[in-house]
Amino acid sequence: MPLASYVHSESIRSRTLWSVQYLRALAAVSVVLFHQLQDYPVFRLGRHGVDLFFVISGFIIFSITEYRNVAPKQFLLNRLTRIAPPYWIAILLAFGLASFHFQLYAASNSPLLLIKSLLFVPSYNVQGNIWPTLFLGWTLNYEIFFYIVFSASLFIPHSMRLVCLTGIFIIAIISGILMTPKGPILLTYTNPRLAEFLAGAWIGATHSTNLNRNQFIIYIFMCSIFILILAVMSIFSRELFFGAISIMILSSFLLLEKLNRVPKIAFIKLLGDASYAVYLFQQFAFDGVRAICLQVNALTGLHFQNHAAAHVLSVAAALVLGLAVFLIVERPLTRSIRRVLAGPVK
């Protein structure tokens, strides 16, 4: 998914929203649990952590630009600096493993798909899915498209920005419904799931209201409208029903934070910070644990890879690997790139 919502723990109006970090952690862990424990019905809901990521992404991107004059070029550069390097590392690692015939789920050794994946161009893989070299990157194709459209909206005066953004996405979604496109690019860029980014952006605009009695009612009313709209749109894409639930969850957590009812738990916030790395590198952890289990099987004949304990171990490995990648690779790399782009201090 993604990505989130793939925004690092950036300050929104000079402060970090702990509730958003908690929800990013929830979304990442949900997806990990789905991928490992989907044989158990309750964990199948975890696939919709992606919908929560998309809503959060729309919220954060609008919020961090609402009171700032950001040039479109700088906005895209900032987003690419944040998103691209860890993703490119994961893609190249997946391509390398696939090229040497190591088993990594749905990884491809196609050079053409690799180039398209690095450029965030939606494409079919050999299985006929719109998946890049690392299949988890399909969410980033949506994310980057949202960034591009949002960067274009930065040319528009602030007062009209969200209205124009809404018009663009409505036209795209309606076009997809009416024309039923076949190509991977149009299928992605007209997908009804784009409404989740848009709803998140509207939550970002609504969240800026204060909590006097009248504005409290407006906040609740607007959030309810967004929930209803996505619930109705789920006729065309059932994922949007879970987008509506994601809006309800996000707006509720934000409201609790406005009321100072959200505790500050450092580890969960750290997991939220690392959610992008957890999401991107989970499959490497899964297949690493699976390889170890196969070795254990060869020695003992226990068939450990199919045991519930192996799935739990895989979940733990994904979280540990994601945290390690975030702390050792992602965060230092992002800071270094941004220092280079900022140039020497004068």
Residue 4 in any domain: the answer is no
Residue pair 126/108 in contact (Cβ under 8 Å)? The answer is: yes
**Distances from the Cα of 274 to the Cαs of 9, 99, 293, 331, in angstroms?**
9, 28, 26, 9
Residue 275 in any domain: the answer is yes
What's the mean pLDDT in 30-38? 95
The pTM for the full model equals: 0.91
Residue 201 in any domain: the answer is yes
Average pLDDT, the chain: 89
Does 2 score more than 80 pLDDT?
no
| Domain limits for position 192 | 18-342
Q: Which two tokens stand for residue 76?
A: 């895209």
Residue 71 in any domain: the answer is yes
Does 234 score more than 50 pLDDT?
yes
Residue 335 in any domain: the answer is yes
Instruction: Specify the pLDDT at position 72.
Output: 93
Q: Rounded to an integer, what is the distance from CA 185 to the centroid of its chain?
A: 19
Instruction: Specify the pLDDT at position 259.
Output: 85
Nearest 10 degrees: Cα torsion 249, 255, 258, 259: -110
**Distances from the Cα of 223 to the Cαs of 60, 206, 250, 312, in angstroms?**
16, 8, 10, 36
Q: Which two tokens stand for residue 321?
A: 């690997």
Instruction: Specify the pLDDT at position 15.
Output: 66
Residue 8 in any domain: the answer is no
**Distances from the Cα of 160 to the Cαs of 137, 155, 163, 165, 167, in angstroms?**
32, 10, 5, 9, 11
Count: domains in the chain: 1
Does 8 score more than 60 pLDDT?
no
Does 258 score more than 80 pLDDT?
yes
Residue 207 in any domain: the answer is yes
Render pLDDT for 157-167 as a digit per residue (tens, 0 to 9): 888 999 999 99
Percent of the chain with pLDDT over 70: 91
Q: Which string of DSSP letters, residue by residue, matches 63-74?
A: HHHTTS---HHH
At 5, the pLDDT band (50, 70, 90 cuts) reads very low
Instruction: Specify the pLDDT at position 9.
Output: 38
Cβ neighbours of residue 175 closer than 8 Å, sequence gap 6 or more: 190
Q: Which amino acid is at 143?
A: E
CA distance 196 to 60: 13
SS3 category, 105: coil
At 249, the pLDDT band (50, 70, 90 cuts) reads very high
Residue 300 in any domain: the answer is yes
Cα 175-182-94 angle, rounded to 5 deg: 115
